[in-house]
Amino acid sequence: MDIVYIRDLRIETVIGIYDWEREIRQTVSLDLEMGTDIRRAGETDSIEDTLDYKSVAKHLIDFVEKSEFQLVETLAERIAAIVLNEFGVPWMKLRLSKPGAVTGSQDVGVIIERSQ
């Protein structure tokens, strides 16, 4: 299986459990690996024959910007469902981080793998 990926996609959203977090927008960062077969696209050189990472990114940006979850775990599961179900990806790995959430750390978050 080949992998199409997106690294460090930064999106502003409402995320967190504390009252002050519910009143502001914070940045989350996505690293996404999506299993696919790129051989046909390699032969035809046509966007129709591959997983269009720009379409995936635009859809996720729109979804995450409009979302208001308390937990990064919930957001990660919703993102996984979108990628698997709406883009026909058989396997994906997501690293979802929340920069600055813990003093002294670069970021915190979750890493999940899901498949159809």
Render pLDDT for 55-76 as a digit per residue (tens, 0 to 9). 999 999 999 999 999 999 999 9
pLDDT at 41: 97
pLDDT at 69: 98
Catalytic residue among 54, 58, 93, 98: 98
Work out how many domains the chain is built from and give that number: 1
Between CA 7 and CA 52 the distance in angstroms is: 15
Domain CATH number, residue 78:
3.30.1130.10
Q: State yes or no: pLDDT of 101 exceeds 90.
A: no
* CB-side neighbour CA atoms (13 Å) of 65: 9
pLDDT at 100: 85
Q: What is the pTM of this model?
A: 0.95
> What is the span of the domain harbouring residue 84?
2-115
Q: State yes or no: pLDDT of 88 exceeds 90.
A: yes
Mean pLDDT of 28-50: 97
Q: How far is CA 41 from CA 37, 50, 95, in A?
A: 8, 5, 26
Q: Is 98 a catalytic residue?
A: yes
